[in-house]
A and B are shown apart, each in its own frame.
Chain A
Amino acid sequence: MSAWSWLKFTLFLWLFRKTVKLSGWLLLAAVVIAAWPVTLVAAVGCLAAWLRGWPPVRLYRTAAWALPVTLAWLAALEVRASGWTAARGPGRAWVASWDHLAAADLARAFPLLAPAAVPAGLALAGTLWAWRIYAITAGLGGITASAPIIFDARQWKRQVRTAGGLTAAPGAVPLLARGRQIPVGGTIRAIGHRWHPVLTLPAGACARHMVVVGSTGSGKTNLMIRLWAGWFTATLQAARAGRGDRPLLVVLDCKGGRDARVKADRTRRLLYGAGARSVAIWPDEARLCLWDLPPDDLAVLLYQMIDTGTGAAAYYADVLQAVITLAVTAPGGPPLSTTAFLDRLTAKWLTGAWTDGRHPAQAERVRAAARHLPDIQLRYATLLGRLGPALDGPGTLAEADAWYCILEGTKERSVAEAQAMALTELAAHTATDLSGEPRAILLAADDYSAVSGRVPLSNLYERGRSLGIGVQVSAQSWQGLGATDDERYRIAATADGGVFVMRTPYPEPLARLAGMRRVLETAHKLIGNTWGDEGMTREQRAWNADPDLIRRLDVGQACYIHRGAATFVQVARPKPSPLTLMPPTAEPGPRGPGPRPEPEPPPPSWPSPPNLDDVFGPGGSR
């Protein structure tokens, strides 16, 4: 082959390739023009998806919603010309539209074809938009090498704006949606989860275990209040329909302070709007009775409430436990108040109670521990005095629909720890009490790390699991979930209701729970400043819940991690329906001291105990 022949052959090949390519483009242009109504709708759909940051599925669903219009059109055609001629309707209308086109009457042609063109165009737009996202993220599209990053950043901004707009709509994110779903807020981005405009959780997710992590000011409180109100509304409505037990929400606000009061007030207003009739704020407005616990549980709790230390203190701890058990399980029944309990911590009382001839072993223990009793009484008088009257009754958790318990974990950590233990025990007692009305219980602990010194969060968690009550815990950081990485992981990994991560400086361990996804990464050879025509594509792994994205989350934005997938959401501020009738006055539950239902039976013979005021001074014992 001569050089001239080779040159001609090469030129022919080049021309042939270009002709084929041009023919393809011309054919495509012809189709685009011929189906111009579909093209128009597809273009508008793609533009809207780009501007609003919609995923392709949004366009597919809109196309599906437009199908009834097509059916209505076909039905109308069938009515006008029966005999199954309706199927030819779109074709006829399309042919007729060219007459309008020739007459430059486009405005008339489009509505003629709209019933078929709208769903088809939207479906096409969805496909094109999906291809665009794929091409950009895989590195096949875009002009510069940074195109995937810029595209993602812009789409994130648009998605945030769209979600924010949806969240602001009054009816978009109510407290409860159909099917007992709890709406959380507008979906920003779903990775691995099914996309819905509003992220909703089944009420059952709250009844299992849930973890919320976010630093101060990240919007954690709003999210938690929304989840409480949603769960409460769903459970109450189910109970009214006879499909479950009445709800009982117990919130432990473990930081306390002025903000806690504001939160409590807001939660109460919201729960009233959700249908609650009695929301008690403890200890400001209502009291609970620690002494209602079964004697064995009460003895263990009272023992645990005192910090006994380790090492040589173990001896003292054993004596303490023995004395408490003797005082609480005495034959006359358990103590019914703080005063009664402290009165029992004397040698005279214990001896009188157990020296009836039927309990020689216990009487012997009383004699052995006699010299420690003044110390033990002093310790408990101090502890119960610091706890105040709020646990000295009257009142039980079952008496209200919801309890907002404020623990001063920041100001008085040791007191708050003891209170948290007592309240958890009362919640457990309510859950297992067979004599009372069965209740669906959600125990929510906000910033539990402030009081988790002696009762680790994992204990609370496992306790809740074993009792069948939902436990929702929040912490400001990964470290706040537990003392060790093992404990933290155990809490987060067993949160089968999901994990909400808000802005936090170290989200990696939680983000790991959402797992990774496979993505394609395309590398291009650069020629000068532009991409060449060579390169390679390889499979890579990317975070489902990108930690860097979580670190940059704005106030109110959260990442919901569940079953190895993640959804970013703009949490909506919870508001009750303005149509809800509020109760005229608050019913904060049991207040102040009241008469006890049963007076404490005195032991057969014991001398009257000394007045505690003589020991501690006026008002010193409680």
Chain B
Amino acid sequence: MRPNPFEALGLPARPDLSDEQVRAAWRQIAAATHPDRPDGGDLARYTAASAAYAELRTPWGRSEAYADVMEADDGPVTAPLPVVPGERATPGEAVPPWQPLIALAQLPARIRRGRPRRLLLRAVIAAVLSLLVLRLIPGTAAAPADVFGLGLWFVLTGRKDLAPPPER
């Protein structure tokens, strides 16, 4: 796993750190761990801090490192996952008719890799409101329409909480 350069310098993982803050953190660690110190320093920590400083010393480097740290929190993007249907296609080959079924099979993985908690919250809201509607106006024509509307709302707004399909 890639080391977290912010941790190595004892800094919070933030993209808006200033050059001075990073330099000060580096100097502090370097002064305490340099191998030339009478007590021999701490070579491993000094090396890690040096590498981290090299990475974080520019604003661009910090934004990249921050983004990498954030991505790492979501889990590795290269983990083995279901077979990608489009990957086996050869030039000129039409989209197979079972593509919708494959897309459906990928749905659990897309939910898991997206924002499942938000999606769950949306689902709960839609379900509770649907139950409320069915309880308040049972047997009316508006009840199924309202439930349909809530379902539509869930589908339309929940799409962005799913991870994109493969190679998108």
Contacts and interface: CB of A to CB of B under 8 A. Distances in A.
B67 interface: yes
Contacts of A240: 86, 89-91, 93
Contacts of B77: 269, 273, 575-576, 578, 580, 582
B54 A579 contact: no
A51 interface: no
B115 A581 contact: no
B101 interface: no
A9 interface: no
B142 A111 contact: yes
Contacts of B79: 578
Interface in A321-350: none
B141 A578 contact: no
Contacts, number: 164
Nearest to A580: B166
Contacts of B146: 69, 111, 114-115
B160 interface: yes
B87 to A, nearest CB: 7
Contact of A65 (B109, B142, B156): B156
A495 B60 CA distance: 27
Interface stretch (B28-36, B37-45, B132-140): B132-140
B88 to A, nearest CB: 10
The listed residue with most A CB atoms (<10 A of its CB), out of B60, B78, B142, is B142
Interface stretch (A70-78, A364-372, A529-537): A70-78
A579 B141 contact: no
Contacts of A217: 59-60, 63
Given A240-B86, A259-B61, A170 B144 contact: no
Interface residues of A, number: 59
Interface of B: 15, 54, 58-61, 63-64, 67, 71, 74-75, 77-84, 86-87, 89-95, 106, 109-110, 113-115, 132-133, 136-137, 140-146, 148-149, 152, 156, 159-168
A118 interface: yes
A615 B67 CA distance: 51
Nearest to B115: A170
20 contacts: A65-B152, A69-B152, A73-B142, A108-B137, A111-B133, A111-B137, A111-B146, A113-B142, A114-B146, A114-B149, A118-B149, A171-B162, A175-B168, A239-B91, A240-B86, A240-B93, A241-B93, A579-B106, A579-B164, A581-B84
A194 to B, nearest CB: 19
B141 A77 contact: yes
Interface in A149-200: 166, 169-172, 174-177
Interface of A: 65-66, 68-70, 72-73, 76-77, 79-80, 89, 93, 107-108, 111-115, 118, 166, 169-172, 174-177, 216-217, 221, 233, 236-237, 239-242, 246, 258-259, 262, 266, 269, 273-275, 555, 573, 575-582
A166 B115 CA distance: 13
A114 B150 CA distance: 11
Contacts of B162: 170-171
A217 B161 CA distance: 29
Nearest to A68: B152
B167 A577 contact: yes
A240 B99 CA distance: 15
Contacts of A115: 142, 145-146, 149
Contact of B64 (A73, A89, A266): A266
B163 A93 contact: no
B164 A69 contact: no
B142 A175 contact: no
B84 to A, nearest CB: 5
Given A242-B92, A555-B15, A576-B167, 9 more contacts: A68-B148, A72-B144, A114-B145, A118-B149, A171-B159, A236-B167, A269-B77, A273-B167, A579-B84
A169 B160 contact: yes
A221 B60 contact: yes
Contact of B149 (A69, A79, A108): A69
The listed residue with most A CB atoms (<10 A of its CB), out of B58, B77, B81, B83, is B77
A177 B159 CA distance: 13
Contacts of B149: 66, 69, 72, 114-115, 118
B81 A112 contact: no
B142 to A, nearest CB: 5
Contacts of B113: 170, 578-579
Contacts of A273: 77, 167
A273 B163 CA distance: 13
Given A112-B137, A115-B145, A233-B167, A581 B60 contact: no
A169 B161 contact: yes
Contact of B145 (A73, A171, A221, A575): A73
Contacts of B132: 111
A186 B164 CA distance: 16
A236 B86 CA distance: 11
A415 to B, nearest CB: 23
Given A240-B91, A580-B166, A112 B59 contact: no
A156 to B, nearest CB: 20
A221 B61 CA distance: 12
B156 to A, nearest CB: 7
A183 to B, nearest CB: 9
B58 A259 contact: yes
The listed residue with most A CB atoms (<10 A of its CB), out of B110, B137, B164, is B164
A573 B78 CA distance: 17
The listed residue with most B CB atoms (<10 A of its CB), out of A171, A239, A241, A269, is A171
A258 B167 CA distance: 28
Contacts of B86: 237, 240, 275
A114 B148 CA distance: 12
A578 B163 contact: yes
A577 B163 contact: yes
Nearest to A114: B146
User: Which 6 interchain pairs have the tightest Cβ spacing?
Assistant: A174-B164, A73-B145, A242-B92, A69-B149, A76-B141, A172-B160
B168 A176 contact: yes
A622 to B, nearest CB: 31
B161 A171 contact: yes
Contacts of B89: 240-241
A308 B6 CA distance: 49
Nearest to A236: B167
Nearest to B106: A579
Contacts of B84: 579-581
Contacts of A113: 142
A170 B61 contact: no
A295 B152 CA distance: 64
Contact of B164 (A77, A111, A175, A269): A175
Nearest to A169: B160
B166 A577 contact: yes
The listed residue with most B CB atoms (<10 A of its CB), out of A80, A111, A274, A275, is A111
Contacts of A108: 136-137
